[in-house]
Amino acid sequence: MNERNINRSEEYWLAKARAGRIPVHVGIIMDGNGRWAQRRGLKRHEGHRAGVQTINRCLPAVIKLGIRHCTLFVFSTENWKRPQEEIQFLFGLITDYCRKHKDELIEHGVQVIPIGRWKQLPASAVRSIESVVRDTSEGSRLKLYLAINYGGRQEILDAAARLAKRLVSKGQAGFDGITQEDFADCLYTRGIPDPDLIIRTSGEKRISNFLLWQGAYSELVFTDVLWPDFEPVDLYKAVVEYSSRSRRFGDVTDRRG
C-alpha cells in the first residue's frame, strides 16, 4: 500500500472512530517487541527501541481522538525475571525517553504520571522520571500514566496495607463499612477514572497482571499486530470496535460513555 492510500486509510478510520464513543481512558499492554526483533534477525534490544518509536507515533493519535487518559504498561514486576542485560537496557530506554522526548511531550500538552513501585528503579532512571513529571505537570490535553515496576496484584496488596494503616491511625477496630471507593482511594491510580478500553498487541489474549482492579469492566481488544508495527490506524480501529460494544456493567441496559 502506497503512502497516499495509508493516509487515506488513517483518515477513514479516524473519522469512523470520532463518529462513535471515545473512551475516556485507554490502557495499552505494549507486547511483541522481542518477537518483532527476532523475526528480523535483530537483538531484542532493537525491538524495545522500535517500541519507543511506536509510542512517539501513537501519542498524537491518542490526542487527536480526544482521549484524556492513557496508561502504558512499560515495565512489570515480573520483568525482573529477564536477563540482567535486557533489564539494564530497558532502564536506559526509560531514562532516554524521559530526557529526549520531554520537550515534545510538553508541546503536545501531555502530563506524565508514573504509577507502580517506580522509585525502586536505579537512581538515574528515578531522577529522569521525576524530571519529566515535574516539567510536564502543566500538560492539560492528555494524562499519560507510565506503569513502571507495576503489577496489579502488588498494587492490590499495597492498597490493602495502606488502607489498614489508615484505619489503625483513625483508631478504627473493625473493617465493617469499608467500601470499594475506600479501597480504590488507596490504589496507585487514586483519582484516575477506570480504563474504558484495554488494548493488547502481539496476539496474546490475557491481561498479564495489568490494572486488575481498575479493569474489572474494561472492554478488551486484542490485536495480532506486534507493538513496534502498531500504527495510529490500529488505535483508531480498536476505538471503533470499543464503540460498537454494549457496556452494561452488570445491568440490562447499555450505558453509554
Residue 171 confidence class, pLDDT cut points 50, 70, 90: confident
Q: Is pLDDT at 111 greater than 60 in this prediction?
A: yes
List the catalytic residue out of 7, 33, 56, 79: 79
Determine the length of the chain. Answer: 257
Q: Is pLDDT at 254 greater than 80 in this prediction?
A: no
Expressed in angstroms, the distance from the first to the final Cα of the chain is 35
Q: Can you give the pTM of this predicted structure?
A: 0.93
* Cβ-proximal residues to 233 (8 Å cutoff; 6+ apart), any chain: 6, 9, 10, 13, 14
**For residues 179 and 199, what is the distance between their CA atoms, to the nearest angstrom?**
29
* Cβ-proximal residues to 45 (8 Å cutoff; 6+ apart), any chain: 37, 86, 89
Is 251 a catalytic site residue? no
Any idea which of 65-69, 116-120, 163-167 has the lowest mean pLDDT?
163-167
SS3 per residue for 93-156: HHHHHHHHCHHHHHHCCEEEEEECCHHHCCHHHHHHHHHHHHHCCCCCCEEEEEEEEECHHHHH
Q: Is pLDDT at 173 greater than 80 in this prediction?
A: no
Average pLDDT over residues 15-42: 97
Q: Which fold has domain 21-151+194-244?
A: Undecaprenyl pyrophosphate synthetase (3.40.1180)
Average pLDDT over residues 112-138: 97
Q: Is pLDDT at 97 greater than 70 in this prediction?
A: yes
What pLDDT score does 165 carry? Answer: 92
Output the DSSP codes for 212-239: TTTTTT-EEEE-SS-GGG--HHHHHHHH
**For residues 156 and 163, what is the distance between their CA atoms, to the nearest angstrom?**
10
List the catalytic residue out of 2, 5, 7, 31: 31
What residues does each domain of the chain span? 21-151+194-244
What pLDDT score does 251 carry? Answer: 64
Is 96 a catalytic site residue? no
Residue 169 confidence class, pLDDT cut points 50, 70, 90: confident
More confident residue, 246 or 36: 36
Cell numbers given for 104: 515534545
Write the pLDDT tens digit of every residue in 222-249.
999 999 999 999 999 999 999 999 876 6
